[in-house]
Amino acid sequence: MKLRDKNGNIWEYIPLKEAKEKGISPKDVMGDVFRKSKEKSIGTLKVQDKNGREITAPIYPYKEKLSYTEKVVGYIPYDAWTDATDYVRIIRKSIAKILIPILILLALIGGGLAWYLLRDTGPDLDHAAVAYEMPNGAVNTDPTQLMMPYIDEITVTAADRAGHTALVNPEGNQSYFRYVLTLTDTGEEIYRSGLIEPGMAVVDWAVNTDLEPGDYDAELAINTFSLEDDETETNGGNMVIVLHVE
């Protein structure tokens, strides 16, 4: 077998399978080559390549326990020290051992990101909603029907865009409510609530655009969604209203 070092030199070596068949063991190894080390070298491996050119590599002390990213590739005969043939052990970085933790980390990051993006976060509730009691304590007692509030006008303050009408979902309803306010003339949507649970209302809200003082024709839609499946829309309603901007 052959390998190329960082200087481009080609080295012939005995691969592990063949070394095992030859019975090469740690007692036959006098040092390591191609291993990054701050230790002082104990000698120099010198061989001739196929072109007859002498190539060399420093020999470092035999390292009994290799690091996680190191691996034994094979052996090169070394017969300069004794009458018997010794060997130097070739140590290289294990690309697989380097890549595996990186790939595992990337997989964990990717899996975590996918979970975060695809997780079921539940209904898109309006976090501004608060518990709210209808006038006279009215409650829907018929689970087959929806109690819809009647709104014919809404007042908004021009300076801060704040609305001054409670957007309520009466207690006892079996649906979420979502309010959508649209200007009739332009079709511009100027407010959309999150999902409002039964017995709750949004009382602190604002339109999303500046409006000059005056009265505007508008539509207030109440979109309704099943409590069991917030993506299933049920019967809602639209109301034609007057939008007062003060």
Q: Which amino acid is at 51?
A: N
The pLDDT score that the predictor gives to residue 122 is 77
Nearest residue to 17 (alpha-carbon basis) of 33, 1, 35, 34: 1
Alpha-carbon distance 73 to 28, whole Å? 16
Alpha-carbon distance 199 to 27, whole Å? 83
Nearest residue to 61 (alpha-carbon basis) of 81, 89, 82: 89
The pLDDT score that the predictor gives to residue 72 is 95
Nearest residue to 233 (alpha-carbon basis) of 243, 244, 224, 220: 224
What CA–CA distances, in Å, run from 233 to 55, 100, 113, 122, 230? 79, 47, 29, 15, 7
| pTM of the complete model | 0.56
The pLDDT score that the predictor gives to residue 221 is 97
Residues of the chain with pLDDT under 50: 81
Dig out the tokens for 110 from the structure. 């990717």
Dig out the tokens for 105 from the structure. 């980390």
Give the angle 231-199-146 at the CA atoms, nearest 5°.
60
What CA–CA distances, in Å, run from 149 to 27, 216, 236? 91, 21, 11
The pLDDT score that the predictor gives to residue 196 is 97
**Phi/psi of residue 99, each to 5°?**
-75, -35
The pLDDT score that the predictor gives to residue 118 is 73
- Residue pair 87/28 in contact (Cβ under 8 Å)? The answer is yes
Domain boundaries, the chain: 2-96, 130-245
Number of other residues whose CB lies within 10 A of the CB of residue 243: 23
The pLDDT score that the predictor gives to residue 234 is 87
Dig out the tokens for 104 from the structure. 């595992």
Alpha-carbon distance 246 to 201, whole Å? 23
Alpha-carbon distance 202 to 206, whole Å? 10
pLDDT digits (tens, 9 = 90+) for 56-99: 999 999 998 999 899 999 999 986 545 556 899 999 998 888 88
Classify domain 130-245 at the CATH class level: mainly beta
Alpha-carbon distance 223 to 175, whole Å? 9
Beta strands in 14-161 (DSSP E): 14-15, 29-33, 43-48, 54-59, 70-78, 86-93, 130-131, 153-156
